Amino acid sequence: MSGIKDLRKIFGGGTSNLRQFSILFSLIFIIVLFQILTNGLTLETGNLINLVSQYSYILILAIGMVMLIIAGHIDLSVGSVAAFSGIVVASAMKYWDLPWPLAIVLGLVVGALIGAWQGFWVAYVGVPAFIVTLAGMLIFRGGNQFIGNANTIPVPDGFTSIGGGYLPEVGPDTGYNNLTLLLGLIVAVAIVIREFRARRVREQLGAEQIPLWVTLVKLVILVAVVIAASFTFAGGRVGTSFPISGIILGVLIVFYSFLTRNTIFGRHIYAVGGNRPAAKLSGVNSRRVDFLLMVNMGVLASLAGMIFVSRSVASGPQDGLNWELDAIAAVFIGGAAIFGGIGTVTGSIIGGLIMAVLNNGLQLLGIGIDRVQIIKGLVLLFAVAIDVYNKSQGRPSLIGLLTRRRKLDEGITEPPAVAPTTGSPADLTPSESTRQQ
Amino acid sequence: MPAVPPILEMRSITKEFPGVKALSNVSITVQTGEIHAICGENGAGKSTLMKVLSGVYPYGTYEGEIIFQNEEVRFSGIRASENAGIAIIHQELALIPHLSITENIFLGNEPGKYGVIDWKEAQLRARELLARVGLSDDPDTLVKNIGVGKQQLVEIAKALNKSVKLLILDEPTAALNSSDSQHLLDLILGLKGKGISSIMISHKLNEIEQIADSITILRDGKTIETLSVKAEGVNEDRIIRGMVGRNLESRFPDRTPKIGEVFFEVKNWTVQHPQVAERMVVKDSSFFVRRGEIVGFAGLMGAGRTEFAMSIFGRSYGNFVSGQIIKDGEEIQVRSVNEAIDHGLAYVSEDRKSLGLNLLDTIKRSVVSAKLKKISAGPVVNETKEYEAAESYRKELRVKAPSVEQGMATLSGGNQQKVVLAKWMFTDPDLLILDEPTRGIDVGAKYEIYGIIQRLAASGKGVIVISSELPELLGISDRIYTIFEGAITNDISAAQADPETVMKSMTSAKKKVQHA
């Protein structure tokens, strides 16, 4: 849903940057490519449902991961933490007969505690997150196998809805899933409202207004996509519709996009990642930011783990293996910078979707896991390489980091057009107006 | 016509970047064995010209020709110009802190065979080179353990190792204190005596006046004139006139101070070094500020000025030992930056890029970053208010940028500094501590910054200005405190302040502080 916002920007130009444009374009390209290669299988209802429920947990991890990466950290333990929470929750339901809604709460609390544990080391002791979470990766993987005796523990039916459930059938028999259609309608209306609200804000600020026809064309395209998608999801096999995990993901994307863009805490994340000493001298409690981000990552990892357990109806010792790599790849394909300060939730989601569609499409084509991995690796490498190349050419995106990284050879990368800004002779005049003060 | 041909002639150099002509038809002639200064404001094209000369912009990316030692040269890169005998020493040092002096001197140019370094040879040559630049340090010392002044000398030793004929120094004394600067200037003069010509870029006109033989002035990418220092009796005012295209009647805006009551006092302030417990960085120091007053803090580099200021600003430096802060007659607790901001304190750091701002931000986000609460409803930032606040400061401080959405990294130093000032003005402070507010900023922008400082004072705020440039302090302060080795040694009113008095107090402990 938030991805739509960027789509909007692209049409409008202006504030959109090259990076976001290129990754969204890549996503569309990959979807179209696989749609052709698989003879239309990619966008079939069953496959789309699969895609959403199979990758929602990676995308949830990517949300927490991008925030950590913006702040200049990383989390290697998310897969292990997910597995650990999964086994704790599964065991609690099996051995203590804990009702499943309470088990979910338990899982989130476990995630928060793990996050607090890792956050303590990162924020208050000052151990680099890379090391803390490398340790966590071992500790919680081992913890999972210790608690579960390296066995698989099944989970009860009710619990399976968060990962394997769908919007229920209600209302008259329309041949479609009514709730999914309703959801689509709500999203479409929300998009229209947002767009017009944005126009109004621009008007208030006296900023350059996007022509009305551009807005309308944009809205027609977006609404058409949303409606087509909702009919596709609603029109599948009876009993299936839009997955619950997809709804959880959607809510999280909206929430975290807002958090990172529009709240004080969000600003503090970027401030800490962009220049930590400067942020401290501006009154940002950087330790608190670090700590809360780690706690948040723990909660999201735990949620992802539970969704996975729910979908696979059991918790096992190999759950969440290599998830951290997928999540980190999604974040970097999505335009985040390895040294912090740059990245968006939306970008990371698009990055994650690129990996997901790629994975799914290659599997539909019957390509083995060996070659799928090779291709994914190359895509990650090339995606970031193109980004780096663009930056070195002084393209409009992300100019800021040029000066940060390349002090020594700044002559080559320095954007020259900005040099002669101070001190044109007219401004030096100690004119009457300035002298009066 | 001189008997010896010039070592360097750059003829009609034109360098264009997309949309901007950075250099247009610039010519410069450097005589053999002279120190040639290049002056101009930020953005006049000095650095671009030097980058053309040193091959950073290789042959083919510019128009015009370079004649070096009577031959036309076409450098393909820095390596090529170094091989020809041109070495450039950048403003920001290119030494690696964790390597030794020897390792740094020979970095990229290691003596030895088949990739195996001959360390004995390197050591011997390093000692020789260090002696030439007047450094007596052990060449095994890690570069991070020697001061900036000595690091600069190591840079020059590194250049000398490459049998340099023409040395280019870009703002060599920008980060040095006055004694280190003097040492460096003497060294450049000494090298001249040994036949090494130099090109020096500097904002410090007094230094140029002191050592340069001739001066080429650039303005807006064009050569304005070349002055011979001896022949024409060139002085600072003459240079400034060339740089800005007319006389700057005054380097400081006129002002009639309106000074009110004492409202801010620091008493018996003592701060411990963060690592070395026995060392007191600030010793039992007291000062006060009146409303509407501009108070200067003078002290040599390392005297503890910045540490003093930062320790007051929410204990951002060192370990607090003792002392009181009194504001409007009441003692206040300032244990964190947030408390400092809430009590109406603002600190503009001396190091803009690493402590003052986030270069990844836009102007808009920077302006509001120190007091987001002011434009937020609960946890949510109101972007309309943010835009309006930033826009009003952009206009008020005349930040040169098309919009507040502009990235900070694209602004010039002077404009970045204005945004940093805006950021702290936005917090509605009563007392602003400005640490080196005009460092690295050209003459015109300095004048504007002084104007802003004066306006702040006129609106009843107290302003503390910390500066290494004595003329600047004398020009804008109503009162000057001198600091020597972490202690305040004197309190001099503007009327009594002259360079000698201030300098004397900056360089010696005094028993009794007399308040003006």
Nearest Cα neighbor of B41 from A148, A421, A169 is A421
Whether the predicted pLDDT of A269 surpasses 80 = yes
More confidently predicted of B446 and B178: B446
Whether the predicted pLDDT of A360 surpasses 80 = yes
Contacts of residues B455-458 at CB distance under 8 Å and 24 or more positions apart, as own/partner, are: B455/A437, B456/B425, B456/B432, B457/B255, B457/B257, B457/B292, B457/B293, B457/B294, B458/A437, B458/B255, B458/B258, B458/B292
pLDDT (average), residues B419-432: 94
Within the 460-479 window of chain B, which residues sit less than 8 Å (CB to CB) from chain A?
none
With contacts defined as CB-CB under 8 Å, which chain A residues touch B387? 205, 207
pLDDT (average), residues B16-24: 74
Domain ranges of chain A: 3-165+243-400
- What pLDDT is recorded for position B1? 46
- What pLDDT is recorded for position B18? 64
Least confident stretch, A62-66, A421-425, B15-19, B310-314: A421-425
pLDDT (average), residues A103-130: 96
More confidently predicted of A239 and A138: A138
* pLDDT tens column, A38-47: 998 888 888 9
Cα–Cα distance, A397 to A392 (Å, whole number)? 11
Q: Identify the bridge partners of residue B490 per DSSP, sorted by sequence position.
A: B482
Identify the closest residue of chain B to A411 by CA–CA distance: B56
Cβ of A426 under 8 Å from any chain B Cβ? no
CATH class of A3-165+243-400: mainly alpha
Cα–Cα distance, B289 to B298 (Å, whole number)? 15
pLDDT bin (cut points 50, 70, 90) of residue B155 is confident
B494 in Cβ contact with B473 (< 8 Å): no
Whether the predicted pLDDT of B133 surpasses 90 = no
CB-CB under 8 Å, B44 with A421: no
With contacts defined as CB-CB under 8 Å, which chain A residues touch B51? 411
- What pLDDT is recorded for position B248? 52
pLDDT (average), residues B171-195: 83
Identify the closest residue of chain A to B459 by CA–CA distance: A437
Cα–Cα distance, B101 to B79 (Å, whole number)? 21
B205 in Cβ contact with B240 (< 8 Å): yes
CB-CB under 8 Å, B22 with A400: no
| DSSP string of A269-334, one letter each residue | HHHHHH-HHHHHHTT--HHHHHHHHHHHHHHHHHHHHHHHHHHHTEE-TTTTTTHHHHHHHHHHHT
Round the average pLDDT of chain B to a whole number and report it. 86
Whether the predicted pLDDT of B435 surpasses 90 = yes
A413 in Cβ contact with A406 (< 8 Å): yes
- What pLDDT is recorded for position B35? 92
Least confident stretch, A172-186, A386-400, B14-28: A386-400
Least confident stretch, A9-23, A420-434, B130-144, B150-164: A420-434
More confidently predicted of B412 and B460: B460
Residue type present at position B260: G
As given in the structure block, the two tokens for residue B309 are 């200021």
pLDDT bin (cut points 50, 70, 90) of residue B121 is confident
More confidently predicted of A407 and B186: B186
- What pLDDT is recorded for position A116? 97
More confidently predicted of A67 and B484: A67
Whether the predicted pLDDT of A18 surpasses 60 = no
Within the 278-307 window of chain A, which residues sit less than 8 Å (CB to CB) from chain B?
278-283, 285
How long a stretch of residues is chain B? 516
More confidently predicted of A110 and B131: A110
Round the average pLDDT of chain A to a whole number and report it. 83
With contacts defined as CB-CB under 8 Å, which chain A residues touch B44? 420, 423
Least confident stretch, A220-234, A253-267, A423-437, B340-354: A423-437
- What pLDDT is recorded for position A410? 32
Residue type present at position A77: S
Whether the predicted pLDDT of A398 surpasses 50 = no
Please name each of the domains of chain B with its CATH number: 8-244 (3.40.50.300), 250-344+429-509 (3.40.50.300), 359-428 (no CATH)
HSE at residue B422, side-chain half, CA atoms within 13 A, is 29
Cα–Cα distance, A291 to B383 (Å, whole number)? 27
Nearest Cα neighbor of B383 from A262, A36, A383 is A262
Identify the closest residue of chain B to A282 by CA–CA distance: B370
* pLDDT tens column, B352-375: 888 888 888 999 999 999 999 999
As given in the structure block, the two tokens for residue A269 are 């994340």
- What pLDDT is recorded for position A68? 96
CB-CB under 8 Å, B451 with A437: yes
- What pLDDT is recorded for position B153? 86
Q: How many CB pairs under 8 A join A and B?
A: 191
- What pLDDT is recorded for position A14? 36
- What pLDDT is recorded for position B42? 65
- What pLDDT is recorded for position A392? 65
More confidently predicted of A65 and A15: A65
As given in the structure block, the two tokens for residue B241 are 């006139």
Q: What is the DSSP letter of B242?
A: H
Cβ of A239 under 8 Å from any chain B Cβ? no
The CA distances from residue B348 to A323, B313, B483, in Å, are: 44, 10, 19
- What pLDDT is recorded for position B66? 92
pLDDT bin (cut points 50, 70, 90) of residue A408 is very low
Distance between B233 CA and the closest CA of chain A, angstroms:
25
- What pLDDT is recorded for position A403? 34
Question: Would you tell me how many other CB atoms lie within 10 Å of the CB of residue A80?
Answer: 27
Least confident stretch, A206-220, A297-311, B330-344: A206-220
* pLDDT tens column, B227-281: 888 776 677 777 877 777 655 556 788 888 889 999 999 999 999 988 877 888 8
pLDDT (average), residues B406-413: 83
More confidently predicted of B274 and B92: B274
CB-CB under 8 Å, B455 with A417: no
Whether the predicted pLDDT of B300 surpasses 70 = yes
